[in-house]
Amino acid sequence: MKISVIIPNWNGLVYLGTCLESLKKQTYPDFEVIVVDNGSTDGSVSFIKARYSSFVRLIELPENTGFDRATNIGIAQASGEFIATLNNDTEADPRWLQELIKGMDHQEQVGMCASKILFFHQRHIIDKVGHLFYPDGQNRGRGCMEEDRGQYNEIEEVFFPDACAALYRKEMLEEVGLFDEDFFAYGDDAELGFRARLFGWKCIYIPTAIVYHIHSGSSGPYAPDKIFLVERNRLWLALKLLPWPLLLLNPYYTAIRYFWHIYSGLFGVGSVGRFVEQYSTYQVIKTLIKAYISTVQGLRNILRKRWEVQKKKKVLDREIYQWIRKYRIKARELALRD
Protein backbone atom coordinates (compact mmCIF):
# COMPACT_ATOMS: atom_id res chain seq x y z
CA MET A 1 0.00 0.00 0.00
CA LYS A 2 1.84 3.06 -1.26
CA ILE A 3 1.88 6.27 0.78
CA SER A 4 2.43 9.70 -0.75
CA VAL A 5 3.95 12.16 1.75
CA ILE A 6 3.00 15.76 0.89
CA ILE A 7 5.11 18.58 2.37
CA PRO A 8 4.05 22.17 1.63
CA ASN A 9 7.03 24.50 1.99
CA TRP A 10 7.33 28.26 2.22
CA ASN A 11 10.75 29.63 3.17
CA GLY A 12 11.41 26.58 5.32
CA LEU A 13 15.06 26.05 4.38
CA VAL A 14 16.17 25.96 8.00
CA TYR A 15 13.85 22.99 8.68
CA LEU A 16 13.93 21.00 5.45
CA GLY A 17 17.13 19.08 6.07
CA THR A 18 15.90 17.64 9.37
CA CYS A 19 12.47 16.83 7.95
CA LEU A 20 13.69 15.11 4.78
CA GLU A 21 16.47 13.20 6.50
CA SER A 22 13.92 11.77 8.93
CA LEU A 23 11.87 10.55 5.96
CA LYS A 24 14.91 8.90 4.40
CA LYS A 25 15.17 6.81 7.59
CA GLN A 26 11.59 5.52 7.44
CA THR A 27 11.21 1.77 7.87
CA TYR A 28 8.08 1.64 5.73
CA PRO A 29 9.20 0.46 2.28
CA ASP A 30 6.70 1.90 -0.19
CA PHE A 31 6.32 5.67 -0.14
CA GLU A 32 7.11 8.78 -2.15
CA VAL A 33 7.87 12.33 -1.01
CA ILE A 34 6.37 15.34 -2.76
CA VAL A 35 7.45 18.83 -1.71
CA VAL A 36 5.26 21.63 -3.01
CA ASP A 37 7.18 24.90 -2.75
CA ASN A 38 5.10 28.05 -2.33
CA GLY A 39 7.40 30.51 -4.07
CA SER A 40 10.17 30.37 -1.45
CA THR A 41 12.89 33.02 -1.62
CA ASP A 42 15.28 31.52 0.95
CA GLY A 43 17.01 28.95 -1.24
CA SER A 44 14.68 26.06 -0.40
CA VAL A 45 14.31 25.01 -4.02
CA SER A 46 18.04 25.02 -4.73
CA PHE A 47 18.66 23.06 -1.53
CA ILE A 48 16.20 20.33 -2.50
CA LYS A 49 17.53 20.10 -6.05
CA ALA A 50 21.12 19.87 -4.85
CA ARG A 51 20.64 17.30 -2.08
CA TYR A 52 17.36 15.46 -2.56
CA SER A 53 16.62 15.40 -6.29
CA SER A 54 16.54 11.59 -6.36
CA PHE A 55 14.40 11.32 -3.22
CA VAL A 56 11.92 14.20 -3.54
CA ARG A 57 9.52 15.09 -6.30
CA LEU A 58 9.55 18.88 -6.28
CA ILE A 59 6.65 21.01 -7.47
CA GLU A 60 7.47 24.71 -7.76
CA LEU A 61 4.73 27.33 -7.45
CA PRO A 62 5.42 30.98 -8.36
CA GLU A 63 3.90 32.44 -5.18
CA ASN A 64 2.63 31.54 -1.71
CA THR A 65 -0.72 29.91 -2.31
CA GLY A 66 -1.12 28.72 1.29
CA PHE A 67 -1.05 25.30 2.92
CA ASP A 68 -4.32 24.14 1.38
CA ARG A 69 -3.75 24.80 -2.30
CA ALA A 70 -0.17 23.56 -2.11
CA THR A 71 -1.29 20.35 -0.41
CA ASN A 72 -4.11 19.83 -2.89
CA ILE A 73 -1.69 20.24 -5.80
CA GLY A 74 0.55 17.64 -4.21
CA ILE A 75 -2.38 15.25 -3.71
CA ALA A 76 -3.35 15.65 -7.37
CA GLN A 77 0.15 14.49 -8.35
CA ALA A 78 0.32 11.67 -5.79
CA SER A 79 0.34 8.03 -6.84
CA GLY A 80 -0.25 6.52 -3.39
CA GLU A 81 -3.41 4.92 -2.03
CA PHE A 82 -2.86 6.95 1.13
CA ILE A 83 -1.88 10.60 1.60
CA ALA A 84 0.35 11.63 4.49
CA THR A 85 0.54 15.36 5.17
CA LEU A 86 3.64 16.59 6.97
CA ASN A 87 4.75 20.07 8.00
CA ASN A 88 8.24 21.11 6.97
CA ASP A 89 9.16 22.02 10.59
CA THR A 90 9.01 18.42 11.80
CA GLU A 91 11.14 15.36 12.41
CA ALA A 92 9.42 12.01 11.95
CA ASP A 93 10.32 8.97 14.02
CA PRO A 94 11.76 6.23 11.75
CA ARG A 95 8.66 4.08 12.28
CA TRP A 96 6.18 6.93 11.78
CA LEU A 97 4.70 5.73 8.47
CA GLN A 98 4.92 2.05 9.38
CA GLU A 99 2.92 2.62 12.56
CA LEU A 100 0.51 5.17 11.12
CA ILE A 101 -0.70 2.93 8.30
CA LYS A 102 -1.83 0.34 10.86
CA GLY A 103 -4.73 2.58 11.83
CA MET A 104 -6.35 2.14 8.43
CA ASP A 105 -7.06 -1.52 9.25
CA HIS A 106 -8.26 -0.84 12.79
CA GLN A 107 -11.98 -0.70 12.02
CA GLU A 108 -14.42 -0.10 9.21
CA GLN A 109 -14.72 3.37 7.68
CA VAL A 110 -11.41 4.68 9.03
CA GLY A 111 -10.36 7.40 6.60
CA MET A 112 -7.97 9.41 8.78
CA CYS A 113 -5.16 8.58 11.21
CA ALA A 114 -3.68 10.96 13.80
CA SER A 115 -0.08 10.90 15.02
CA LYS A 116 1.35 11.54 18.45
CA ILE A 117 2.92 14.98 17.90
CA LEU A 118 5.46 16.12 20.49
CA PHE A 119 7.37 19.38 20.69
CA PHE A 120 10.69 19.30 18.88
CA HIS A 121 12.69 21.04 21.60
CA GLN A 122 10.77 19.50 24.54
CA ARG A 123 10.25 15.92 23.50
CA HIS A 124 8.45 14.97 26.68
CA ILE A 125 5.73 17.60 26.10
CA ILE A 126 2.70 16.94 23.90
CA ASP A 127 1.83 19.27 21.05
CA LYS A 128 -1.31 17.35 20.06
CA VAL A 129 -2.69 13.83 19.91
CA GLY A 130 -5.74 14.36 17.74
CA HIS A 131 -8.03 17.35 18.20
CA LEU A 132 -10.76 18.67 20.48
CA PHE A 133 -13.56 20.98 19.39
CA TYR A 134 -15.33 24.02 20.85
CA PRO A 135 -18.98 24.57 19.79
CA ASP A 136 -18.33 27.92 18.07
CA GLY A 137 -16.05 26.25 15.49
CA GLN A 138 -12.70 26.69 17.25
CA ASN A 139 -10.47 23.69 17.91
CA ARG A 140 -7.33 22.80 19.81
CA GLY A 141 -4.93 19.90 20.02
CA ARG A 142 -5.89 17.20 22.50
CA GLY A 143 -3.34 16.92 25.31
CA CYS A 144 -1.63 20.18 24.31
CA MET A 145 1.17 21.19 26.72
CA GLU A 146 0.75 18.08 28.89
CA GLU A 147 3.78 16.04 29.86
CA ASP A 148 3.78 12.77 27.97
CA ARG A 149 3.44 10.25 30.82
CA GLY A 150 1.79 7.53 28.74
CA GLN A 151 -1.75 8.85 29.29
CA TYR A 152 -2.33 8.80 25.50
CA ASN A 153 -0.69 5.47 24.71
CA GLU A 154 -3.82 3.63 23.58
CA ILE A 155 -5.09 3.32 20.03
CA GLU A 156 -8.46 5.05 20.05
CA GLU A 157 -10.92 7.00 17.97
CA VAL A 158 -10.45 10.79 17.98
CA PHE A 159 -12.42 13.56 16.29
CA PHE A 160 -9.94 14.37 13.53
CA PRO A 161 -6.16 14.56 13.01
CA ASP A 162 -3.83 17.51 12.84
CA ALA A 163 -2.58 17.87 9.26
CA CYS A 164 0.87 18.65 10.64
CA ALA A 165 1.35 14.86 10.61
CA ALA A 166 -1.68 12.93 9.42
CA LEU A 167 -2.68 10.11 7.10
CA TYR A 168 -5.72 10.23 4.84
CA ARG A 169 -7.26 7.50 2.71
CA LYS A 170 -7.27 8.75 -0.88
CA GLU A 171 -10.62 7.05 -1.45
CA MET A 172 -12.05 9.23 1.33
CA LEU A 173 -10.63 12.41 -0.17
CA GLU A 174 -12.11 11.53 -3.55
CA GLU A 175 -15.53 11.26 -1.90
CA VAL A 176 -15.54 14.22 0.50
CA GLY A 177 -13.19 16.58 -1.34
CA LEU A 178 -9.76 17.99 -0.53
CA PHE A 179 -8.69 20.86 1.73
CA ASP A 180 -10.80 24.00 1.32
CA GLU A 181 -8.42 26.36 -0.48
CA ASP A 182 -10.32 29.47 0.63
CA PHE A 183 -9.05 28.79 4.17
CA PHE A 184 -5.43 29.30 3.00
CA ALA A 185 -4.05 27.89 6.28
CA TYR A 186 -5.15 27.09 9.88
CA GLY A 187 -8.42 25.44 10.75
CA ASP A 188 -8.31 23.69 7.39
CA ASP A 189 -7.61 20.27 8.90
CA ALA A 190 -10.50 20.78 11.32
CA GLU A 191 -12.82 21.62 8.44
CA LEU A 192 -11.71 18.63 6.36
CA GLY A 193 -11.86 16.29 9.36
CA PHE A 194 -15.33 17.49 10.41
CA ARG A 195 -16.57 17.27 6.82
CA ALA A 196 -15.26 13.73 6.50
CA ARG A 197 -17.12 12.79 9.69
CA LEU A 198 -20.33 14.16 8.16
CA PHE A 199 -19.80 11.70 5.31
CA GLY A 200 -19.46 8.81 7.76
CA TRP A 201 -15.68 8.44 7.97
CA LYS A 202 -13.75 8.01 11.23
CA CYS A 203 -10.34 8.93 12.62
CA ILE A 204 -8.02 6.68 14.63
CA TYR A 205 -5.16 7.92 16.81
CA ILE A 206 -1.95 5.85 16.68
CA PRO A 207 0.31 6.62 19.70
CA THR A 208 3.32 4.82 18.22
CA ALA A 209 3.32 7.07 15.13
CA ILE A 210 5.49 9.86 16.55
CA VAL A 211 6.49 13.20 15.04
CA TYR A 212 8.41 16.07 16.66
CA HIS A 213 7.12 19.53 15.74
CA ILE A 214 8.70 22.96 16.11
CA HIS A 215 5.15 24.48 16.01
CA SER A 216 4.35 27.48 13.81
CA GLY A 217 7.89 27.49 12.52
CA SER A 218 6.92 29.20 9.27
CA SER A 219 4.46 31.81 10.57
CA GLY A 220 5.33 32.32 14.24
CA PRO A 221 2.95 31.31 17.03
CA TYR A 222 1.43 34.75 17.68
CA ALA A 223 1.61 36.48 14.29
CA PRO A 224 -1.38 38.74 13.46
CA ASP A 225 -1.93 36.93 10.16
CA LYS A 226 -2.22 33.62 12.03
CA ILE A 227 -4.73 35.05 14.54
CA PHE A 228 -6.75 36.48 11.64
CA LEU A 229 -6.86 33.15 9.79
CA VAL A 230 -7.70 31.15 12.91
CA GLU A 231 -10.66 33.39 13.79
CA ARG A 232 -12.02 33.81 10.27
CA ASN A 233 -11.68 30.14 9.45
CA ARG A 234 -13.47 28.93 12.58
CA LEU A 235 -16.39 31.15 11.54
CA TRP A 236 -16.34 29.71 8.04
CA LEU A 237 -16.19 26.18 9.47
CA ALA A 238 -19.21 26.87 11.66
CA LEU A 239 -21.20 28.40 8.80
CA LYS A 240 -20.32 25.54 6.48
CA LEU A 241 -20.70 22.50 8.72
CA LEU A 242 -22.59 23.04 12.00
CA PRO A 243 -26.31 22.25 12.36
CA TRP A 244 -28.53 25.33 12.35
CA PRO A 245 -29.48 25.15 16.08
CA LEU A 246 -25.82 25.09 17.07
CA LEU A 247 -25.02 27.80 14.55
CA LEU A 248 -27.67 30.07 16.11
CA LEU A 249 -25.97 29.55 19.49
CA ASN A 250 -22.59 30.50 18.05
CA PRO A 251 -22.56 34.07 19.48
CA TYR A 252 -23.28 32.68 22.96
CA TYR A 253 -20.38 30.23 22.88
CA THR A 254 -18.08 32.83 21.33
CA ALA A 255 -18.94 35.35 24.06
CA ILE A 256 -17.87 32.83 26.71
CA ARG A 257 -14.62 32.16 24.87
CA TYR A 258 -13.97 35.87 24.43
CA PHE A 259 -14.47 36.39 28.18
CA TRP A 260 -11.60 34.00 28.86
CA HIS A 261 -9.49 35.57 26.11
CA ILE A 262 -10.00 38.98 27.74
CA TYR A 263 -8.93 37.44 31.03
CA SER A 264 -5.94 35.99 29.19
CA GLY A 265 -4.96 39.41 27.86
CA LEU A 266 -5.40 41.18 31.19
CA PHE A 267 -3.29 38.71 33.15
CA GLY A 268 -0.73 37.88 30.49
CA VAL A 269 -1.53 34.20 30.17
CA GLY A 270 -2.67 32.11 27.21
CA SER A 271 -2.40 32.96 23.53
CA VAL A 272 -3.97 36.43 23.77
CA GLY A 273 -1.69 37.30 26.68
CA ARG A 274 1.36 36.32 24.63
CA PHE A 275 0.04 38.21 21.61
CA VAL A 276 -0.49 41.40 23.62
CA GLU A 277 3.07 41.14 24.95
CA GLN A 278 4.42 41.24 21.39
CA TYR A 279 1.90 43.59 19.82
CA SER A 280 -0.97 45.40 21.63
CA THR A 281 -4.60 45.16 22.65
CA TYR A 282 -5.41 47.47 19.76
CA GLN A 283 -3.80 44.98 17.36
CA VAL A 284 -5.95 42.16 18.80
CA ILE A 285 -9.15 44.16 18.22
CA LYS A 286 -8.01 45.24 14.76
CA THR A 287 -7.22 41.64 13.79
CA LEU A 288 -10.61 40.36 15.00
CA ILE A 289 -12.48 43.09 13.10
CA LYS A 290 -10.53 42.20 9.98
CA ALA A 291 -11.47 38.53 10.47
CA TYR A 292 -15.19 39.34 10.76
CA ILE A 293 -15.10 41.58 7.69
CA SER A 294 -13.43 38.83 5.70
CA THR A 295 -16.04 36.35 6.97
CA VAL A 296 -18.87 38.53 5.68
CA GLN A 297 -17.11 39.05 2.35
CA GLY A 298 -16.94 35.30 1.85
CA LEU A 299 -20.44 34.60 3.19
CA ARG A 300 -22.16 33.92 -0.11
CA ASN A 301 -19.46 31.46 -1.16
CA ILE A 302 -19.41 29.64 2.18
CA LEU A 303 -23.21 29.29 2.24
CA ARG A 304 -23.06 27.76 -1.24
CA LYS A 305 -20.54 25.24 0.08
CA ARG A 306 -22.78 24.59 3.08
CA TRP A 307 -25.65 23.67 0.78
CA GLU A 308 -23.41 21.25 -1.14
CA VAL A 309 -22.15 19.53 2.02
CA GLN A 310 -25.45 19.37 3.86
CA LYS A 311 -27.34 17.73 0.98
CA LYS A 312 -24.72 14.92 0.83
CA LYS A 313 -23.99 14.29 4.51
CA LYS A 314 -24.71 10.81 5.82
CA VAL A 315 -25.11 11.40 9.56
CA LEU A 316 -27.97 12.81 11.61
CA ASP A 317 -27.65 15.98 13.65
CA ARG A 318 -27.90 14.02 16.89
CA GLU A 319 -24.66 12.25 15.99
CA ILE A 320 -22.96 15.61 15.50
CA TYR A 321 -24.09 16.73 18.95
CA GLN A 322 -22.72 13.48 20.37
CA TRP A 323 -19.32 14.16 18.77
CA ILE A 324 -19.18 17.66 20.18
CA ARG A 325 -20.06 16.42 23.68
CA LYS A 326 -17.45 13.67 23.44
CA TYR A 327 -14.63 15.74 21.97
CA ARG A 328 -15.46 19.14 23.45
CA ILE A 329 -12.86 21.43 24.95
CA LYS A 330 -13.86 24.00 27.59
CA ALA A 331 -13.57 27.70 26.72
CA ARG A 332 -11.34 28.36 29.74
CA GLU A 333 -8.86 25.68 28.70
CA LEU A 334 -8.97 26.82 25.09
CA ALA A 335 -8.08 30.40 26.03
CA LEU A 336 -5.65 29.92 28.92
CA ARG A 337 -3.60 26.85 28.08
CA ASP A 338 -0.65 28.00 25.96
pLDDT > 70 in the chain, percent = 98
**What does the pLDDT read at residue 217?**
53
Whether 186 and 244 share a structural domain: no
Are residues 205 and 81 both part of a single domain?
yes
| pLDDT of the residue at 270 | 78
Say if residue 228 is in the same domain as residue 208: no
Three-class DSSP category at 52:
coil
Same domain, residue pair 201 and 229: no
d(CA 80, CA 3): 5
Cβ–Cβ under 8 Å, residues 226 and 216? yes
Last residue of a domain, one of 162, 185, 213: 213
Q: Which pLDDT score is estimated for 221? A: 61
Q: What is the DSSP string of 98-167?
A: HHHGGGGGSSTTEEEEEEEEEESS-TTBEEESSEEE-TTS-EEETTTT-B-SSTT-S-EEES---TTEEE
What phi and psi values does residue 92 have, to the nearest 5 degrees? Answer: -90, 135
Number of residues assigned to the chain: 338
Same domain, 61 and 124: yes
Domain shared by 112 and 8, yes or no: yes
Q: In this structure, are 284 and 236 located in the same domain?
A: yes
In a domain, 218, yes or no: no
Considering the chain, what is the average pLDDT of its residues?
94
Condensed to tens digits (0 to 9), the pLDDT of residues 56-105 reads 999 999 999 999 999 999 999 999 999 999 999 999 999 999 999 999 98
pLDDT at 273: 78
Whether residues 14 and 114 share a domain: the answer is: yes
Q: What is the CATH number of the domain that holds 114?
A: 3.90.550.10
Q: 32 in a domain, yes or no?
A: yes
Q: Based on the structure, what is the number of domains in the chain?
A: 2
- Domain extent, residue 113, equals 3-213
Q: Is residue 11 part of a domain?
A: yes
Which of 187, 213, 239 is a domain's end point?
213
Please report the pLDDT score of residue 215 as a whole number: 73
DSSP character for 185?
S
Residues 33 and 91 in one domain: yes
Residue 291 confidence (pLDDT): 96
Q: Distance between CA 220 and CA 153 in Å, rounded? A: 29
- Same domain? 176 vs 270: no
Q: What's the first-to-final CA gap in the chain, in angstroms?
A: 38
Same domain, 164 and 231: no
- Residue ranges in the chain modelled with pLDDT below 70: 216-222, 338
**What pLDDT shows up at residue 220?**
55
- What distance in Å separates the CA atoms of residue 16 and residue 44, rounded to the nearest whole number? 8
Task: Among 213, 237, 272, identify where a domain stops.
Answer: 213
Four-residue CA torsion sign, 249, 250, 254, 257: positive
Q: Are residues 152 and 80 in the same domain?
A: yes
State the Cα–Cα distance between residues 116 and 148, nearest whole angstrom. 10
